[in-house]
Structure 1
């Protein structure tokens, strides 16, 4: 169990003065009183401590908290509210007695409606246990995240009563212009410059229409991404918005929502949609292990026609629909194992073999959109290892998937083109300025917590 360090700010939200006061409180509870008059005066906000005094108080309290009279050093004990239990039940699992748990609930109730707390809520307690092993543990303090940039802290005052404070961290919304070079995969490289998983997925979808992500994107290729995010004063990203702009290997795309449309799309600098009739591959970052044509079968040993393309990829790798369509089959089919077939326009169908599983909701009759995850790579059926067998059918006949001509997307015109150019100009200005920052206070709270009088809980 981790030892409780009274100098540590669990969520890095508390100011130094509060940390010092909380640390001194722990020392007092341990039976070691350090200059109570000074501490009390600071608590009342009558004097201002210097940085040296704060450091000294923290150091003294840390030494004192290491050996509380008759108790072990406080330990940080994480707690998660379980299904069917109350907040008080969860606190009791730390070893404190009912009076301690009840007092904590009453204290928290001054800021949040504890009856609305739901299973899964997590908080951290600081607990000291009796050295002799007999008796109840004692609550030293508690911290609980109550929002994306706020937390609730409970500590003991000089008379031993529990005190609650609501600590808010300043949040800035910014439009980030992130640049980098590809090292490994494009997705991993994007994450290193601050992109979220959702943004890297969108990035792969956009460029899958233009590039074979395994062979066309190489180490050292530079890229630029523009996206919104919310960051705390300590630099922690708490929310990431949509990808507004992406550039790699000279290909540039802007996010734009056509007026009256519910769908967000990406267009090049001229207003041409990134979407094509067919994506080049149904899988990102996969090596072609077997091409279309005659080959020696890896299991039977006979030479025969290989009527598709095999992509080597780990089990569980997402497989996406290369174009809009309707699922025709999602079933077991002999040596293909788990098989999926999708009917597209112009007499084309795509087929996928050896799948480990289908994506949620994929079944015969289900409509799918281009770029939607429909299944996951596996090794079912007659297979020597994890890979995707990919086929294209034209009017019932298998053809080489590499022969499919990729047609360009639609081009904006008229009022839609004018609106796109205005949005493009806005994004270009942000890029030229190196980004944009907008201070903002986030009011959202953790699910299951209803503020009662949070504005009145902070004490100085």
Structure 2
């Protein structure tokens, strides 16, 4: 079992050092006097006392009289188990587990501590095997930016300390040139996966991300997120703006729209009828037209486009539609076909699996994950075979004409211009921050 080290800092505020601080000093007195454990009301700990508490804990780390070195024991509440029962599994006496529960119950509703919740305890065993194990401390996250610690005071009582990090709502501006791929570059620059996926979906309306993008092309992303003072992202927000090769996308929600959309600088909806490709990032490994078949060796018509991509790469619906087929189909392996408007249908072959809930008759929306790249059927390696039919006849997917979006007017256009001005101001300033509050478990009496 891993040794408990009070100098280990799993987060900026070093909750485990708080846990060990008071408790270690009490343990030094264990051979001379013992006081029964009792629950105390929670006491707030200010950030200013962190440095002093850390120094005290480190100084006392090796001086546990009569007890072995504390060991960190992670605990997860099991299905049908109460918090107290979970604490008992650490090996401490029942009365101590009950006291810990009562301590936490002074400030938090322990009934909300559900199955699956994880927390960590520090348990010391008596030297020589005489006496019971003792709880040195307990730490548990109670919210995105809040945590509690339970530790002993000098008289042997248990004390609860609640620690909350400051939380800031940020609007982040990422500006970079493409290095390898947009996804990898944006990820390295600090954008989260959710924002990057939305941006690449938008770019896919205007560009083939494999053939149209060069290493010197610059892109800009503006997105919101909520972070703690230690820099941990606790909530990924929305993509507010994206720009690539002169194409700009502003996020705006018209008054009578069910969801936000993206518009160019003049207020024209940037969503086209069809996305250029059904993958966020992939390269074309075989184009539409005659070719020598990689398995049969014969020259024959290739009635689609092949995209080389790793197994498990999400496949996106290029437009709204209805699933017509989701089944096994000979050399195509796992096959999916979607019917769209204007007599268009799309087909996807060699899939590893289908997206959640995808089956015949289900409606899908543009950009929705409908399947995942694989190598099923007659395939020499992971890739997506992509086909398009128009009025029942296969056509070259790269030649599909897309319909331009609508243009805002009236009050919507005025509101859009105001939002555009705000976003432009954020881009010019390089981002913005504003403090907010953090949420957690419901406190008793709240």
TM-score by length of 1: 0.87
Q: For residue 323 of structure 1, give the secondary structure of its aligned residue in structure 2.
A: coil
Select 1:310's aligned residue among 306, 313, 316.
Answer: 306
Change (3 A) 1:60 1:196: closer
Select 2:443's aligned residue among 427, 448, 451.
Answer: 451
Q: Which residue of 1 aligns with 2:93?
A: 97
Shift of 1:110: 0.6
Q: Distance in 2 between matches of 1:323 and 1:308?
A: 17
Shift of 1:8: 4.5
Q: Distance in 2 between matches of 1:217 and 1:8?
A: 45
Select 1:247's aligned residue among 239, 243, 246.
Answer: 243
Select 1:184's aligned residue among 180, 188, 200.
Answer: 180
Q: Which residue of 1 aligns with 2:37?
A: none
* Contact in 1 for aligned 2:23/2:137 (Cα 8 Å): no
- The answer to whether structure 1 residue 298 and structure 2 residue 290 are counterparts is no
Select 1:439's aligned residue among 400, 414, 435.
Answer: 435
* Contact in 1 for aligned 2:26/2:153 (Cα 8 Å): no
Q: For residue 391 of structure 1, give the secondary structure of its aligned residue in structure 2.
A: strand
Please give the residue correspondences for 1:264-413 in structure 2 after superposition, counting only pairs within 5 Å.
264-413=260-409
Change (3 A) 1:21 1:380: closer
Q: Which string of whole-angstrom CA distances, capped at 9 and with x for unpartnered residues, describes residues 139-164 of structure 1? A: 10111111111111111000011000
Shift of 1:71: 2.3
Q: Which residue of 1 aligns with 2:11?
A: 11
Q: Which residue of 2 aligns with 1:458?
A: none
Q: Which residue of 1 aligns with 2:156?
A: 160
Change (3 A) 1:404 1:452: same
Deviates more, 1:156-165 or 1:281-290: 281-290
- The answer to whether structure 1 residue 263 and structure 2 residue 255 are counterparts is no
Please give the residue correspondences for 1:210-225 in structure 2 after superposition, counting only pairs within 5 Å.
210-225=206-221
Change (3 A) 1:13 1:363: same
**What is the count of residue pairs matched by the alignment?**
432
Q: Distance in 1 between matches of 2:22 and 2:86?
A: 27
Q: Which residue of 2 aligns with 1:457?
A: none
Shift of 1:302: 1.8
Deviates more, 1:346-355 or 1:171-180: 171-180
Please give the residue correspondences for 1:106-121 in structure 2 after superposition, counting only pairs within 5 Å.
106-121=102-117
Shift of 1:59: 4.7
Q: Distance in 2 between matches of 1:337 and 1:450?
A: 51
* Contact in 2 for aligned 1:141/1:154 (Cα 8 Å): yes
Root mean square deviation of aligned Cα: 2.6
Q: For residue 179 of structure 1, give the secondary structure of its aligned residue in structure 2.
A: strand
* Contact in 2 for aligned 1:27/1:62 (Cα 8 Å): no
* Contact in 2 for aligned 1:229/1:239 (Cα 8 Å): yes
Q: Distance in 2 between matches of 1:197 and 1:19?
A: 33
Q: For residue 424 of structure 1, give the secondary structure of its aligned residue in structure 2.
A: helix
Q: Distance in 1 between matches of 2:102 and 2:82?
A: 13
* Contact in 1 for aligned 2:323/2:339 (Cα 8 Å): yes
Shift of 1:249: 2.1
Select 1:30's aligned residue among 28, 35, 42.
Answer: 28
* Contact in 2 for aligned 1:228/1:242 (Cα 8 Å): yes
Q: Distance in 2 between matches of 1:363 and 1:232?
A: 41
Q: For residue 128 of structure 2, give the secondary structure of its aligned residue in structure 1.
A: coil
* Contact in 2 for aligned 1:7/1:23 (Cα 8 Å): no
Q: Which residue of 1 aligns with 2:191?
A: 195
Q: Which string of whole-angstrom CA distances, capped at 9 and with x for unpartnered residues, describes residues 371-417 of structure 1? A: 11111111111111111111111111111111212332222223322
Change (3 A) 1:269 1:96: same
Q: Distance in 2 between matches of 1:173 and 1:86?
A: 35
* Contact in 1 for aligned 2:22/2:153 (Cα 8 Å): no
* Contact in 2 for aligned 1:179/1:222 (Cα 8 Å): yes
* Contact in 1 for aligned 2:351/2:372 (Cα 8 Å): yes
Deviates more, 1:420-429 or 1:407-416: 407-416
Q: Distance in 1 between matches of 2:22 and 2:336?
A: 65
Q: Which residue of 2 aligns with 1:42?
A: none
Q: For residue 132 of structure 1, give the secondary structure of its aligned residue in structure 2.
A: helix
* Contact in 2 for aligned 1:212/1:280 (Cα 8 Å): yes
Q: Distance in 2 between matches of 1:133 and 1:292?
A: 76
TM-score by length of 2: 0.90
Q: Which string of whole-angstrom CA distances, capped at 9 and with x for unpartnered residues, describes residues 330-379 of structure 1? A: 11111111111111111111111111111111111111111111111111
Q: For residue 426 of structure 2, give the secondary structure of its aligned residue in structure 1.
A: helix
Q: For residue 310 of structure 1, give the secondary structure of its aligned residue in structure 2.
A: strand
* Contact in 1 for aligned 2:387/2:394 (Cα 8 Å): yes
* Contact in 2 for aligned 1:13/1:150 (Cα 8 Å): no
Q: Which residue of 1 aligns with 2:82?
A: 86
Q: Distance in 1 between matches of 2:125 and 2:137?
A: 13
* Contact in 1 for aligned 2:19/2:138 (Cα 8 Å): no
Select 1:73's aligned residue among 69, 72, 95.
Answer: 69
